[in-house]
Structure 1
Amino acid sequence: MNRLRAYRFLEDISQQELGALLGLSTAMVSAVESGRRSFTGDLRRIGYSPERFSIPDMSMPLHRHKASTRVSAKNRAQELLRLGGEVFSELRDRTERAPTLSLERLPSPSSLVDLEDLALETRYLLGHEELGPIRNLTAAVERAGVCIIPIRGLDGIDGLSAWVGNTPVIGVSPIVPGDRLRYTIGHELCHLIFHRRRSDGIENEANRFAGAILFPRAEFDAAMPERPQLRDFSNLKSAWGVSVAALVYRAHELGYLDDSRYRALQIQMSKWHKVEPAHFEPALGNLLPKLVEVNGGLQAVASALGVNDKHLAAVTNWSHLRLA
């Protein structure tokens, strides 16, 4: 993998179209992308400096997607993750008082009980030793040295994550309500810490972890009435910043709802047509845009690092995020 293929994925163009931009034949572009030929063209024609031909290694991006999600959209999202991590790492190293990485990769938990305990430990790592809601999970995760970027056009995917070199990166859909954004970040945090590759069970683990980090088991137990109703979950949503759907899911997982009651509540929720009551504003990613700002702004950073300014804007611009 090199910058040519990464550029194609980001722009969603063919080898022929890239060849036209670089003044190369389609066959030559193919040969360079595959490593069979050396690149002798000029990367500046596509907005990158010659030193940017190589790209950083990246772990397998993990996400849950619908079958309808386009391959080209997934490819673009993965390259945005890579670019976000690449730029973030370099800016962090040259910026005073930038957050240091406190997140580390751990073996997968042996049980869901262990996962709940590890979620509590992660809360402590994020600076929340006390119980109670984490008011701004986005900021807490960024303070732990995680790069969070917006990714548009990912129908069917709320988020994805990967390690770019030694930098953990989370990409989130910019059109989800605040409760779903928080849950997605918690979900992807689990992937970053515990999961190396796609396998059975990792999505359930990530959902359990997200629920546990946002609403710890002890406090969830204390909040649950003997026979919880939909209004109970709606009230808890406002207090904890977790969607009703996620709260109902967690109640079912923890044994407060049997299968029949769980299905009944899902039927009731279906009448909302996927738009839950009690929306609130999402907490936007701020760390990477701030690093760009303190280093002179988008154009200055793009020039200094030798990266395409349009691509840099794509991983730093949250202005399109819908308020919810």
Structure 2
Amino acid sequence: MFSERLMRARKAAGLSMSALATEVGVSANAIKKYEHGETMPTSANLLKLAKALGVRTEYFFRPLKVDLQGVEYRKRANTPQKLLDQINGDVMDQAERWTELLDLYPDSVEPVPPFCLPDGLPDQVTSFEQIEDIAILMRSAWALGLNPIPELIDTLESKGIMIISTDIEAKKKFDGLAGTIDSTPVVVISSHHPGDRQRFTLAHELGHLVLSGRLSEGLDEEKACNHFAGAFLLPKPALLQHLGDRRGAIEPRELFMLKHEFGVSMMAILVRVGQCGIISESLQKRYYMTFSKRGWRTQEPGQAYPQEETNLFKQLVYRALGEGYIGEPKAAELIGMSLSSFHKERKLGVSDAASHQ
């Protein structure tokens, strides 16, 4: 247990054995022996390891081990393995704390609903037109209507999807990943991306859950999930209502306003107006060229769309504390705070933001 967790924490911190040895003040061979389970560190070195790796000492002895299956990354082909190791380590740590928290609830309490797909989904999807209909069906089943979804993370969490945000700096080489723990879908997003990019990643991964096993051989799953994401975040009827059925030109300001209303990037909206037949393919290509010339493909104008936050984990920690399922020490450990800081936060002695500084 200790050896495996040490190796994961080291990789998550992006450190080699030699680098960690230097931080702790031992030899690289000593770190190797720790990770191979041949020896155990002294109490003093255990504290140094925890400090160097940015974890609490309890991390090394946490008995629960989760199995994140079916992992699929949304990343660039040249994303280094070292970066993926860091992301995976962070994700596994958060997933373990999630699972431990849920296991602390009594069997009679279901703090998170099980994820299930609505009735009426087609057995086989053969066209993008069907994907448009499926996006509307999902919105209808979840009582979302056709209006903008203000808090997509809250929406997905309320339907039984575990959302994890990783702080690992990926330098635009990583958008997210998806997998399952037991039967619970898990979606991971990067905290370093603007809100519109996070939302598209979330909707894209929802597309995988909805369309998996349904696509005909002629449809590429990644393209299909991108189409679903756009249709789910910005439904065709809503887009037609805002822009009209057919346009000979569209002002950039219109795209900008729709972005901040629906939480979808201007580029994604430009893709949608083409998909919905509002503008011609040739006009769409001209707008793509305009975006490239103005540098909007990498940095869209104006302030970035605000990020969303996942608060469910922390809410469930406080719920478990309030119901007496756990005490303050376990609550602080799950959140990753010192007991004194947690006690102050619990008593509203400091703000939530200040408690993590």
Aligned residue number for residue 345 of structure 2? none
Correspondence for 2:229 among 210, 214, 218: 210
The answer to whether structure 1 residue 238 and structure 2 residue 238 are counterparts is no
**1:286, distance to aligned residue in structure 2 (A):** 1.1
Tell whether the 8 Å contact from 1:84 to 1:149 is kept in structure 2 after alignment.
yes
CA distance in 2, matches of 1:51, 1:83: 12
CA distance in 2 between counterparts of 1:104 and 1:54 reads 29
Alpha-carbon separation, structure 1, partners of 2:59 and 2:146: 48
Question: Where does residue 127 of structure 2 map in the other structure?
Answer: 111
Q: How high is the TM-score relative to the length of structure 2?
A: 0.69
Structure 1 counterpart of 2:100: 90
In the alignment, structure 1 residue 276 sits paired with structure 2 residue 301: yes
Please name the residue that 2:310 is paired with: 285
Question: What is the alpha-carbon distance in structure 2 between the residues aligned to residue 292 and residue 91 of structure 1?
Answer: 7
SS at match of 1:163: strand
2:239 equivalent to 1:220: yes
| Shift in Å, 1:251 | 2.0
1:63 is paired with a residue whose SS is strand
* Higher RCO structure (Cα 8 Å, ≥6 apart): 1
The CA deviation at 1:245 is 0.8
Amino acid at match of 1:59: Q
2:271 pairs, out of 249, 255, 259, with 249
Secondary structure in structure 1 of the residue aligned to 2:188: strand
C-alpha distance 154-61 of structure 1, shift in aligned 2 (>3 A): farther
Q: Helix, strand or coil: the match of 1:102?
A: coil
Matched, 1:61 2:71: yes
1:298 deviation in Å? 8.8
For 2:303 and 2:59, locate their aligned partners in 1 and report how far apart those are by CA, in whole Å: 47
Deviations 1:59-80 (A, max 9, x none): 2332332244332122221232
Give the superposed CA RMSD: 3.9
**Is it true that 1:173 corresponds to 2:190 in the alignment?**
yes
Task: Give the alignment of 1:150-189 within 5 angstroms.
Answer: 150-152=165-167, 153-156=169-172, 157-189=174-206
Kept after mapping to 1: 8 A contact 2:165/2:188: yes
Contact 1:178/1:282 (<8 A) preserved: yes
Match of 1:137 among 146, 152, 155: 152
Between the aligned partners of 1:295 and 1:40, the Cα distance in structure 2 is 37
Provide closer, same or farther for how the CA distance between residues 250 and 100 of structure 1 changes in structure 2, counting only shifts above 3 A: same
Distance 1:26 1:101 in 2: 41
SS in 2 for 1:256: coil
Match of 2:115 in 1: 102
Q: Name 2:342's counterpart in structure 1.
A: none
Question: Structure 1 length normalisation: TM-score?
Answer: 0.75
Q: Deviations over 1:108-130 (max 9, x none)?
A: 844333333332333245442x2
1:260 is the counterpart of 2:282: yes
Kindly provide the CA deviation profile for residues 139-173 of structure 1, in whole angstroms up to 9, marking residues without a partner as x.
Answer: 11111122222223122223222212333222222
Percent of aligned pairs with the same residue?
25
The alpha-carbon distance between structure 1 residues 276 and 260, as it changes in their structure 2 partners (threshold 3 A), is: same
- Which residue of 1 is the match for residue 53 of structure 2? none
Deviation at 1:259, TM superposition (A): 3.8
Q: Which amino acid aligns with 1:291?
A: L
* Correspondence 1:36-75 to 2 at 5 A: 41=40, 45=46, 46=50, 47-48=57-58, 52=62, 55-75=65-85
Comparing 97-106 with 86-95, greater Cα deviation is found at 97-106
Q: In the aligned structure 1, how far is the partner of 2:62 from the partner of 2:158?
A: 28
Deviates further, 290-299 or 141-150: 290-299
* Structure 2 stretches lacking a partner, 5+ long: 51-56, 322-326, 339-351
The corresponding residue for 1:122 is 138
Q: Measured at CA, do residues 9 and 121 of structure 1 come closer, stay the same or move farther in structure 2, by a change above 3 Å?
A: farther
C-alpha distance 194-8 of structure 1, shift in aligned 2 (>3 A): farther
Give the counterpart letter for 1:142 in structure 2: E
Letter in 2 for 1:121: L
Separation (CA, whole Å) in 2 of partners of 1:308 and 1:12: 20
| Alignment check: 8 A CA contact 1:3 1:53 kept | no
Match of 2:138, as an amino acid? T
Q: Which has the larger displacement, 160-169 or 8-17?
A: 8-17
Distance verdict in 2 for CA 1:136–1:54, change over 3 Å:
closer
Instruction: Quickly say closer, same or farther: Cα 1:301–1:268, change in 2 above 3 A.
Output: same
The total of aligned residue pairs comes to 302
Deviations 1:89-126 (A, max 9, x none): 33234345623122459988443333333323332454
